[in-house]
Amino acid sequence: MVPARSSPKSARDILVLGAGMVGVCTAWYLLQRGHRVTLVDRNAPGRETSFGNAGIIQREAVRPYRFPRDLATLTRVLPNRQVDIRYQPYGMVRAALPLFQYWRNSAPQRYAHIVPEYAALITRARDAHAEMVDAAGAQSVIRKDGYLEVFRTAEAFDAECRQAEQDATEYDVTYRVLDSAALAEEEPDLAAGLAGAIHWTQPWTATDPGALVAAYANHFQQQGGHVIQAPLETLSRNGSGWRATVGGETIATEQVVLALGPWSAPWLDQQGLHVPLFVKRGYHMHYGTLDNARLRHWLMDSETGYLLAPMRAGIRLTTGAELARHNARPHYRQLAAAEAVARTLFPLGDRLDPQPWMGARPCTPDMKPVIGPAPGLPGLWLAFGHGHQGFTMGPITGKLLGQMMDGETTDVDMAPYRADRF
């Protein structure tokens, strides 16, 4: 079912820069509001970070990823051999200030204030996706059976169960607790000896994340939206509006949405507006299976820090975070380390891709995205900095930004996501 198009009192020409999940969804929602929308990216929709993620539309992830503050974790991470967190020293130096702010905001008192603001988006994200999935006819890409978070030690398992119980009370998170026997029944091809698992029942998963973004973009075009695949070359004020040079052509527009993920900060710097943005890079590879083994659910190895996902292209292994410069050369050792551990958990077969994929997640020091107007730059709107959750939060970001741009009361208080909060 296609949602009814609204007709604002003043339809506007709007240029959306960036065709990842956030940009595509923002363009889609603005088009549904009756605006004339052009979507621009150097690549086809959904071919950057949105292409290579774990493909989970999360509902349970009401608590953002914190910077480790305890001595035990920092000591573990420092040798730079872990699966969940790796770093390149030069990249750490370049991002020293935002990383320090990230560390400060991960302190218990500050973090306690951030969680409900972050959760306000996560708890609404799946429903915003549902509207787009139905409109785009993308049901074949979606599974609605949640995912499993497995634990190797009873201590970690018990701690996460306690946190899940709290989140169920505060944020209506639903889940099932599986002991080792129940886990073996759900996933009989996993290695023995696991402590148990939490089955998060609310999330949806995409068997081809890039295809889901492409389906949204295709529906946007079918409904009258315009897509330009060409690089953005210049962006500047043009009287009361804006002017962009795209692939050698000049586009004049009334309003612009900057949704370029990790590429957003340099373009803002050109406008005299600085937002502290850093990246967490990630890698993936697809695998076959041995001995007709089958992975029935998306599976997160919680204490190690990687994820296995049964996707169309094979079993996708995604790594944790690598703190590095966005444009630094790839370091595949983190993927190799994750693969070695994953093979002890599940019988992975041969690698299926010619080379590993690498992407970059745009992160802010307080773990919340930037959504709203650019201060001092009328007509420029911002939608980036979603960290690990751009794939999840894309539709709700577009929905809320559309409400803001049309001067409506928003479903969520948007003050926590303003660009001048840093």
Instruction: Report the CATH number that the domain containing residue 359 is assigned in CATH.
Output: 3.30.9.10
In a domain, 44, yes or no: yes
Total tally of structural domains belonging to the chain = 2
Measuring CA to CA, which residue among 259, 244, 241, 197 is closest to residue 393? 259
CA 326 to chain centre: 16
The predicted-structure confidence for 38-62, as pLDDT tens digits, reads as follows 999 999 999 888 899 999 999 999 9
Structure tokens at 177: 């607790």
CATH number, residue 390: 3.50.50.60
What gap in Å lies between CA 416 and CA 413, rounded to an integer? 7
In a domain, 245, yes or no: yes
Structure tokens at 38: 């052009």
Length in residues, the chain: 422
How many CB atoms within 10 Å of residue 249? 10
Structure tokens at 311: 């996707």
In a domain, 71, yes or no: no
What gap in Å lies between CA 12 and CA 255, rounded to an integer? 8
Domain boundary among 363, 388, 405: 363
Whole-angstrom CA distances from 194 to 17, 83, 159 are 45, 18, 15
The predicted-structure confidence for 182-238, as pLDDT tens digits, reads as follows 999 999 999 999 999 999 999 999 999 999 999 999 999 999 999 999 999 999 999
Which pLDDT does position 2 carry in this prediction? 47
If asked whether residues 263 and 309 sit together in one domain, one would say no
If asked whether residues 135 and 161 sit together in one domain, one would say no
HSE-CB of 2 using CA atoms within 13 angstroms: 13
In a domain, 176, yes or no: yes
In a domain, 4, yes or no: no
Which pLDDT does position 92 carry in this prediction? 83
If asked whether residues 342 and 293 sit together in one domain, one would say yes
In a domain, 311, yes or no: yes
| Angle ∠(310,157,167) on CA atoms, nearest 5 | 85
Domain boundary among 318, 343, 363: 363
Q: Which residues pair with 317 in a beta bridge?
A: 285, 308
Residues in the chain, pLDDT under 50: 1-2, 4
Which pLDDT does position 6 carry in this prediction? 54
In a domain, 1, yes or no: no
Domain boundary among 363, 384, 414: 363
Look at strands 13-17 and 36-41 and give their pairing: parallel
CA 187 to chain centre: 27
If asked whether residues 208 and 192 sit together in one domain, one would say no
DSSP result, 182-196: HHHHH-TTSPS---E
What gap in Å lies between CA 91 and CA 263, rounded to an integer? 16
If asked whether residues 304 and 238 sit together in one domain, one would say no
If asked whether residues 46 and 132 sit together in one domain, one would say yes
If asked whether residues 197 and 209 sit together in one domain, one would say no
Which pLDDT does position 8 carry in this prediction? 54
In a domain, 218, yes or no: yes
What gap in Å lies between CA 282 and CA 357, rounded to an integer? 8
HSE-CB of 398 using CA atoms within 13 angstroms: 33
**Cα dihedral 76/85/286/367 (nearest 10):** 150
If asked whether residues 375 and 336 sit together in one domain, one would say no
Instruction: Find out whether 229 and 44 touch, Cβ atoms under 8 Å.
Output: yes
Domain that holds residue 258: 11-66+107-140+204-275+368-422
What gap in Å lies between CA 331 and CA 212, rounded to an integer? 28
**Cα dihedral 405/409/413/419 (nearest 10):** 20
Helix 209-222 vs helix 21-32: crossing angle, to nearest 10:
30
